[in-house]
Amino acid sequence: DPATGRTVAHCAAASGDPRTLRAVLAFDQDDAMSKSTDSAGRSLLHSAVEKEAAAVSPSAQRHLVVRRLLRLDGKAGQPLTQDADGRTPVDLAVLSGAGPALAVLLGALVTEGKSSEVLSEVRDLEGRGLLHSACLTGRADTVLQLVAMGLSPWQPDAHGLPAVCYAAAAKSPDALHALLNAGTVGGLGLLAARVAEDGATLAHLAAHANRPAALRLLAAAGLPVLTAVDFDGWSPLQLAIAAGAWDAAEALVDEAASQVEAAIAAEADPTVECPAAARLPDMRTPDGRSLLHLAVTAGNCGLVIGILSIARLLSPPASGQSSPPLHPTHVPDPLGWTPLHVALFAGRANLARLLLDISPVTALSVSRTADGLTCLHLAVSGCCLGHGSVDAIQLCQEFWPWQAVTRDNEGAMPIHLASACGCEAAVSALLSTCGVFQSLHLTAQGDSPLHLAGSETVARLLSSRMLMKDRIQRNLARRTPSEEAQARGRSEALVELLRELELEALVDADGKQPANQPTNQPANQPANQPANQPANQPTNQP
What is the Cα 322 distance to its own chain's centre?
38
- Confidence label for 383 from pLDDT (cuts 50, 70 and 90): very high
- Confidence label for 536 from pLDDT (cuts 50, 70 and 90): very low
pLDDT at site 239: 92
Task: List, in order, residues 6 or more apart from 111 with CB less than 8 Å away.
Answer: none
- Confidence label for 99 from pLDDT (cuts 50, 70 and 90): confident
Q: How far apart are the first and last CA of the chain?
A: 116
pLDDT at site 115: 65
Point out the least confidently predicted range of 113-117, 437-441, 537-541. 537-541
Residue 521, pLDDT > 60, answer no
- Confidence label for 347 from pLDDT (cuts 50, 70 and 90): very high
Q: Over pLDDT 90: what percentage of the chain? A: 20
pLDDT at site 326: 56
Please report which helix (H) or strand (E) contains residue 48, including its range.
helix 44-49
Task: List, in order, residues 6 or more apart from 345 with CB less than 8 Å away.
Answer: 337, 378, 379, 381, 382, 388
pLDDT at site 253: 92
Mean predicted lDDT score pLDDT of the chain: 81
Q: pLDDT tens for residues 111-149? A: 777 766 777 777 777 788 888 888 888 888 888 888 888
Q: pLDDT tens for residues 149-166? A: 888 888 888 888 888 899
Own/partner pairs, 211-215, CB within 8 angstroms, 24+ separation: 211/168, 211/169, 211/170, 211/171, 211/173, 211/248, 212/247, 212/248, 212/250, 212/251, 213/173, 214/167, 214/168, 214/169, 214/170, 214/173, 214/176, 215/248, 215/251, 215/252, 215/255
Point out the least confidently predicted range of 97-101, 257-261, 418-422, 432-436. 432-436
- Per the CB < 8 A criterion, the answer to whether 273 and 323 are in contact is no
Of 317, 301, 298, nearest to 309 by C-alpha is: 301
**What global pTM score does this model have?**
0.74
Average pLDDT over residues 174-189: 79
The conformation of residue 461, written as its DSSP 8-state character, comes to: H
Average pLDDT over residues 330-340: 88
Cα radius of gyration rounded to whole Å, the chain:
38
Q: pLDDT tens for residues 277-313? A: 877 777 888 889 988 999 999 888 888 888 888 887 8
**Which fold does the domain 187-314 belong to in CATH?**
1.25.40
Residue 41, pLDDT > 90, answer no
Looking at this protein, which amino acid is placed at residue 117? E
